[in-house]
Amino acid sequence: MSSMSKCAVEKFTITKIENGKLKMIIEADSAIIDEKENVAHLKLSVVKFYDKGSYVSTLITESADINLETYDVKGIGKCIIDTANNEQLQTTDLMYNTKKNLIYSDNNVRIKKSGYMIYGTRFDADIKFETVTIKNQRTVFN
């Protein structure tokens, strides 16, 4: 492997525009860019999602891998999503599929909403959290 196939970047940022509107902003304290694999390995990353230019949610991860061709995101370790509607999701090891505009994980999930918590063992959701599917769902009211 040539030494030029990987490079380190401090204060890494990618801004993705789709149809002239802001789609996502990806920021990280640092990144290792693997040019051969076309992947950026991020540490302490924040991904802000937008729908037609309007902010909808933020994904915060300990580390993440970003496919630099598709912009698919693999959150590694603890993952938290905060929505514009003051909802919060916590899980581990989640995926974001750009083409399908879908966030999902096969791991335990906890969603905090106003007045109640939802627990489950797997979920998928759109970035706006308008459509959420949770397996083995259990709701606890405050």
* Torsion 36-103-18-30 (CA) sign: negative
Q: Is the pLDDT of residue 4 over 70?
A: no
Q: Is the pLDDT of residue 28 over 60?
A: yes
Determine the pLDDT at residue 5.
Answer: 84
Bridge partners of residue 46, in order along the sequence = 27, 60
Question: What mean pLDDT is reported for the chain?
Answer: 94
Q: Please give the share of the chain, as a percent, with pLDDT higher than 70.
A: 97
Furthest-apart CA pair in the chain: how many Å?
Answer: 57
Count Cα neighbours of 99 within 13 Å in the Cβ-side half-sphere: 3
Eight-class DSSP state of 76: E
Q: Is the pLDDT of residue 2 over 80?
A: no
pTM of the model: 0.92
Using left for φ > 0, alpha for ψ between -120 and 50, and beta otherwise, residue 35 falls in alpha
Given pLDDT bands bounded at 50, 70 and 90, which one contains residue 142?
confident
CATH class of the 3-141 domain in this structure: mainly beta
Domain chopping of the chain, boundaries: 3-141
Q: Is the pLDDT of residue 21 over 50?
A: yes
